[in-house]
Structure 1
Amino acid sequence: MKKMMALGFEGSANKIGIGVVTLDGDILSNPRHTYITPPGQGFLPRETAQHHLQHVLPLVKEALKTAQVTPDDIDCLCYTKGPGMGAPLQVSAIVIRILSQLWKKPIVAVNHCVAHIEMGRIVTGADDPVVLYVSGGNTQVIAYSEGRYRIFGETIDIAIGNCLDRFARVLTLSNDPSPGYNIEQLAKKGEKFIDLPYVVKGMDVSFSGILSFIEATAEEKLKNNECTPADLCYSLQETLFAMLVEITERAMAHCDKNDILIVGGVGCNERLQEMMRVMCSERGGKLYATDDRYCIDNGAMIAYTGLLAYAHGTSTPLEESTFTQRFRTDEVHAIWREKEESKKANGTAE
């Protein structure tokens, strides 16, 4: 019997990725290309969209060739509807519409955040964990309940990845492979801890004030040789990650869950994983995390999540295959999780 298969398009930020995935989670191909700007610079929507336009069709060809499939083998085409940057999101939305009409395939619009979670679950085998979703544009503590992924805590201003990226610009660190990765490497050499503001407000966190404070501190202390860039990176990481550990543990207590799944680009950070692992083990739980193949934005996560929805009767009409910069995690009806839960309940009842 032929396995259901999807082609997924991810292009919500500075990465364009195409993935071919089957319903049982086999990742047949997952190529991507990252738009890297010079040190000290961020990526702007227009230039990022031009990058995606340049690379999207070669990536489609590469994804199909690596997976050894043809368009005829594909059951549906999935794309990131949001959240993300408008111009880059538009590229995938347009390409998916064209391919849908050329190949006569249904479209499935996917929430970027939910895709990170489902990818994390299938790759790690995590069943029903509390999810810490940390990336350049998002910081949320999430748990599944009654058909939706509920947000228990989040950033009230900028995301953690954005905070790290912007401080990397202050230090003019390279954006290759990513500013956050280069901060992580520099932090390993830090020896002196510098006190920074610690801003937890109930279940939520705030990073913008910490960023302003460390920018001013960097200017003053580096000029006077009072600390090194490595000390600043070390202090920033320790402070930000301690805040995340606190709100994640609070959500675990609230939901009566002991396992954590970390997803999103910042989830690759080994220090963050280490701090979470210690907290989890103290609660008798387990930490689930992935490497950069799957925690960083990729097409496979969109393909897999779209296929889950499609297998349960969900698709997106052509005229509704739009994109949006704001698309909350808890807006999605995770029908596949509902079916999972009811199967478990019936199994127990029997």
Structure 2
Amino acid sequence: MPIAIGLEGSANKLGVGVIYHPSSAHDSPQEVPLDATQKSQPVRILANLRHTYVSPPGTGFLPKDTAAHHRRWVVRLVKQAMKQAGVTVEDVDCICFTKGPGMGAPLGAVSVAARMLSLLWDKPLVGVNHCVGHIEMGRAITGAENPVVLYVSGGNTQVIAYSAQRYRIFGEALDIAIGNCLDRFARVLAISNDPAPGYNIEQLAKKGKVLLDIPYAVKGMDVSFSGILYRVEELAKKLEAGEKDDGEKWVDDETGNAITREDLCFTLQETVFAMLVEITERAMAHVGASQVLIVGGVGCNERLQEMMGMMARDRGGSVYATDERFCIDNGIMIAHAGLLAWKMGFKTALGDSTCTQRFRTDEVLIDWRD
């Protein structure tokens, strides 16, 4: 009856999760209910708590401030998670933590907490790749069998497929991640960071009507967002200047309609999501896949899911995605992926438990899959 606690803190989300896996090999590890009350299922999520560091509008979250937030909250979240899960220290088999990739200071704060628990409780450490955590949690929740994975978050943009015990990266962002692009655009328009800038951009985009001309940067299987960001930042400044000019508004040349911040959000979303759909479809064709799994914080976006679904259905396929409990950074995905590795005999020595900001998805041996 293995039980793991997972600590996630690679960015501004601090998550602590407790998960139970079956002890017998014939029980499927893919049957993960959404709460601990569904006791008919062999794998159970016992606790999944999260606390977010929210910075003021127009600003990002600095590593030092984010790390301070994690240090303030990690102990109380661990206590709350253990209480909610109804488990004791003796019940826990391993301490799983995010080893990378991510922001250095927040990663370091959480890894120190994990090492402290390991020493205090005399439990083994399991360092987990953040990206692998997202993928395994997505597979477990949705039941996707062998999908092409689109991993989209604040720090990563990757198109991935499994082969020979590795998650192979077929395409990725060449410069900044899509989530970083959205976050930085939100700062220019002073869009609120609560609950997340990407979510607030999504809500504004639903009201947008004008699709403006901005760069579309797909390079083979890779994408680039920095030029797009520069262009939409220019447009945002033009919009701001227009709104301050004695009632004169910046208007669309074709329709005569006034350009709004909603139009800018709509334009950015439609363009960057179309790029992601294109490279994902190319990966599906290459590996012969019929399923797409969207993971990562940006994967919560309903418009991205809708556009990906249209493409997949045209190919006779399907799209899988999770809600905000699991697509946004969380501790339960770290506990789940860590416990999968621990059951295969993997442990992280204390001396090897330092964090790696650039920890590639394809560096991890996925020996729990065929």
Same fold (TM over 0.5): yes
Q: 1:274 maps to which residue?
A: 306
Q: Deviations over 1:76-103 (max 9, x none)?
A: 1000000000000011111111111111
Cross-structure match for 2:330: 298
On the 8 A contact 1:119/1:294 being kept in 2, the answer is yes
CA deviations over 1:52-95 (Å, ceiling 9, x no partner): 00000000001000000011100110000000000000111111
SS in structure 2 of the partner of residue 284 of structure 1: coil
CA displacement, residues 180-214 of structure 1 (integer Å, 9 cap, x when unaligned): 00000000000111011000000000000000011
For 1:216 and 1:240, locate their aligned partners in 2 and report how far apart those are by CA, in whole Å: 17
CA distance in 2, matches of 1:262, 1:230: 25
In the TM superposition, what is the alpha-carbon distance from 1:302 to its structure 2 partner?
Answer: 0.2
Q: How does 1:1-350 map to 2 (within 5 A)?
A: 3-23=1-21, 24=29, 25-224=43-242, 225-226=249-250, 227-337=259-369, 341=370
2 CA distance for matches of 1:145 and 1:290? Answer: 23
Cα distance in 2 for partners of 1:260, 1:266 equals 15
Q: CA deviation at 1:260?
A: 0.2
Please report how far the alpha carbon of residue 317 of structure 1 lies from its aligned counterpart in structure 2 after TM superposition: 1.0
CA distance in 1, matches of 2:276, 2:76: 38
- Alignment-mate amino acid for residue 19 of structure 1: G
Q: CA deviation at 1:222?
A: 4.2
Residue 25 of structure 2: aligned partner: none
Question: Matched residues in 2 for 1:222 and 1:45: separation?
Answer: 29
Amino acid at match of 1:118: E
* Contact preservation (8 Å) 1:312, 1:336: yes
Tell me the alpha carbon deviations over residues 295-337 of structure 1, each in whole angstroms, 9 at most, x when there is no partner.
0000000000000000011111111111011100000000101
Provide runs of 4+ in structure 1 moved above 6 Å. none
Q: Which runs of 5+ in 1 are unaligned?
A: 342-350
- Does the residue aligned with 1:31 lie in a helix, a strand or coil? strand
Letter in 2 for 1:270: E
Q: SS at the partner of 2:209?
A: coil
Query: 2:40 corresponds to which residue?
Result: none
Question: After superposition, what is the alpha-carbon deviation per residue over 1:89-126, rounded to whole angstroms, capped at 9, x for unaligned?
Answer: 01111111111111110110000000000000001011
SS at match of 1:41: coil
- Deviation of 1:294 after TM superposition, in Å, equals 0.2
* Alpha-carbon shift at residue 223 of structure 1 (Å): 2.7
Q: Is the 8 A contact 2:165 2:365 kept in 1?
A: yes
Amino acid at match of 1:264: G
Given that 2:239 and 2:261 are in contact with CA atoms closer than 8 Å, whether structure 1 keeps it comes out as no
Structure with the largest fraction of helix: 1
Counterpart of 1:42 in 2: which secondary structure? coil
Structure 2 CA distance for aligned equivalents of residues 219 and 16 of structure 1: 33
Question: For 1:182 and 1:161, how far apart are their aligned partners in 2?
Answer: 13
Identity of aligned residues (%): 66
What runs of 5+ residues in structure 2 fail to find an aligned partner?
Answer: 22-28, 30-42, 243-248, 251-258
Whether the 8 Å CA contact 1:10–1:18 is kept in 2: the answer is: yes
Contact kept, 8 Å, 1:222 with 1:228, in 2: the verdict is no
Is the 1:7–1:20 contact (alpha carbons within 8 Å) kept by the matching residues of 2? yes
Letter of the 2:154 counterpart: G
1:245 offset after TM fit, Å?
0.2
- State the SS of the aligned residue for 2:15: strand
Q: How many residues align?
A: 336
Q: Check whether the contact 1:82–1:110 (CA below 8 A) recurs between aligned residues.
A: yes
Which amino acid counterpart does residue 237 of structure 2 have in structure 1? Answer: E
Amino acid in structure 1 at the alignment position of 2:6: G
The Cα offsets for residues 36-64 of structure 1, whole Å up to 9 and x where unpaired, read as 00000000000100000000000000100
Q: Distance in 2 between matches of 1:45 and 1:103?
A: 29
CA distances 1:10-46 after superposition (whole Å, capped 9, x unpaired):
0000011100011244111011100000000000000
TM-score by length of 2: 0.90
TM-score normalised by length of structure 1:
0.95
